[in-house]
Structure 1
Amino acid sequence: MRIDMHAETRLPEALLDGLRNARHVVVFIGAGASAESGIPTFRDALTGLWSRFDALSLATPEAFERDPALVWGWYEWRRMKVLETQPNAAHRAIAALASRVPRLSLITQNVDDLHERAGSPDVVHLHGSLGAPRCFRCSKPHAELPIPQEPEGGRRLEPPRCEHCGGPVRPGVVWFGEALPEAALHGAFEAAARCDVLLSIGTSGVVQPAALLPGIARDAGATVIEINPQPSVSSAGYAWSLCGPAGQVMPALLAQAWP
């Protein structure tokens, strides 16, 4: 059922009761939630000094092998932009929701730390994190991140070296052509299969294999609630589609479920 959310919209009691009575809620997050904090989605055109580059061509292991300084510089620019932003009302509402239900699993496709800064612990990052770099050669974590710099578009910003093997340190994100972290993906699939309610927030529902999660939950008998400015390609199969910005819908959902 589609509901266009406005300030005065009263949500159906069936939806609110389902959330109140849930024993396990999965919150599945896409780029739209971070975009409301001012972080461009990955497929947005690059702007400013980086406008002549194609993001898709920089996000591969081959690109890093070919020009590690260029790729590292671009990801440092992205990390700096993330640190300049703040969690929005949706991030804070999700953190608050965790205290109102017996169990909450938070699964994100985003590589920022806005959920952690909003107070959510144990966030599952399906696509890695800008805050968790590792060695390109031996894969060991790199503990000390430098202070982000403002690299000009195309400027070579040499990555730090691994303290274990001396190899170049790479961003801790999943690049095109790489598999998602096995433990994170397995945990996400298991949570979706065992939850009572899944909130799909700010995601188009087309990026695989993460896009499988709402369907897994629905097929296991869970109620799937989509929150997006516009319905996604999969919303017709969900119980509820709440159309509006996550920063507006999530606080309203909590306020009505627990007045």
Structure 2
Amino acid sequence: MTSAAPRKAVLYRMVMPSHVCPYGLKSKWQLERHGYEVEDHWLRTRHETDAFMAEHVVKTTPQTFIGGERIGGNDDLTRFFGGHIPAKDETSYRPVVAVFAMTLLMAMAASTAAYGTPLTGRAAAWFVSLSMCVLAILKLQDVARFSTMFLNYDLLARRWVPYAYLYPFGEALAGVLMTADALPWLSIPVALVIGGIGAVSVFKAVYLDKRELKCACVGGSSNVPLGFVSLTENLFMVGMALWMLLR
């Protein structure tokens, strides 16, 4: 019994001394992963690349051909194999899931190192405080962009614009101090203020005013929809502050 002949694909991609196209590498990997034998053509100069694009009336490389039919670039190839390419303004909770999953694992790792078990009350507290730290890092990457998005819904920032710039620093300060269990006289009121105002602002914008906005919780360039996740972030801060106050 003879085995089936391998499926074949033709790939044109830029491989130059100073630049190897990452999308070309991805396309080659996708094709091989799906069982295709790749006829790999390298476009070694800018002149070769421009000539290829002019010949095939395309604006980008790489370009994949299967069975004589042009599939297109790497995104087109992903769609060809049934994958999803997000639209430009498509919302997603993936950034928040990534943050909370990692901070949970970090908290459990710290608890294991300190107490020999990942499941402790301290791990729960670290999960909240480390989440605050990581979310603050994302905001601090571009405070100006964060502040612009934040001003869409935060009640205090709309009345006093500098608060939109100070918020990430306050969240970072409270998160670091709560992780260290230090200076509770400072961390508790900071977390209560920014978390309380944030929770009220999100609740009003989403559940009372019914506005569809993007959340600034993971920075000013995120496509996370404003709603339950942002409300949870702020309630976590308030809950952590109250727990530290009452313990």
Q: TM-score, normalised by structure 1?
A: 0.25
Q: TM-score, normalised by structure 2?
A: 0.25
Bigger RCO of structures 1 and 2 (CA < 8 A, at least 6 apart): 1
Which protein has the larger Cα radius of gyration, Structure 1 or Structure 2? 2
